[in-house]
Structure 1
Amino acid sequence: MNDQHITAPAPPHPAAGAHYKLTSTALWIGLGAGMLLNFAFQAAGLWLLAAPFGLIAFASAVALIARAVVSRKDR
């Protein structure tokens, strides 16, 4: 009689590796796009527009290096 209150089974949780892969992809995209846009804006003489993209590329590089060091220690 109370069939409408039965909940559907919960979907399986994504694996822990999926989050690692997603953030790694985002960091590599941030590094590549930041370097490319920084270079393009500097070549065009737009130094103030180039600075934020340089910072994005730098932060992505630092995060990738830190991730590599931490994952090496976990092995």
Structure 2
Amino acid sequence: MLDARGRSCPEPVIILKKAMISQENSYEILVDNKTALENVTRYAEHNGYQVAFTQSNDDFTMILTKKQAGI
């Protein structure tokens, strides 16, 4: 799990970008503001991942899953 809470943009996206070097099928990242949620979502979708999230108080837990070919 990647923890980007307390980080202002673009740091959460940079953290995810570095993690994506491993080319995993899924990632989980924590952010604590809507701007980071939106920017990470946009970056993940641009790189072929579906994004789902849950909110608990001020924290968002984001689950990024690689889209299957042809979907």
TM-score, normalised to structure 1, is 0.27
Identify, as 1 or 2, the structure richer in strand: 2
Q: Based on CA coordinates, which of the two structures has the bigger radius of gyration?
A: 1
TM-score, normalised to structure 2, is 0.28
